[in-house]
Amino acid sequence: MSETTFYNKRGEPIAYTQDGEHIYLFNGKPVAYLYQNSVYTYSGKHLGVYENGWIRDNNGQCVFFTSEATGGPMKPMKQMKPMKNLKQLKPLKSLKQIKPARAMNSSQWSELSSGIFFDV
């Protein structure tokens, strides 16, 4: 699988995945993983969904987009990617939180459209 970069509502590259599962910040910190179409922290918290090139929060609002994103709000011009630091070791995955009821997709940007999305 090729690398996928996740950009915020200002077009800033925030995170990436090289294997289609584990998500890293550019400083090398592992922050989340994809399971089916959900995004989870390593502590098991359900953050949102990933589909059609968008990561959406649990309210259905757009947090990040990829180059392949379709639909959603207008995408800003993508900024240059920073250099990647060495990847840190991934923490063990905890039990996954039960997925909340699926919200309707919104064409609005989430207030979490930055690295704070992964902070828990």
Of 79, 77, 71, 72, whose CA–CA distance to 109 is shortest? Answer: 72
Q: How many CA atoms lie within 13 A of 59 on its CB side?
A: 11
Other CB atoms within 10 A of residue 48 CB: 27
Domain positions in the chain are 1-120
Of 19, 14, 2, whose CA–CA distance to 78 is shortest? Answer: 14
| Predicted confidence (pLDDT) per residue in 27-44, tens digit | 999 999 999 999 999 999
| Predicted confidence (pLDDT) per residue in 20-79, tens digit | 999 999 999 999 999 999 999 999 999 999 999 999 999 999 999 999 999 999 999 999
pTM attached to this predicted model:
0.93
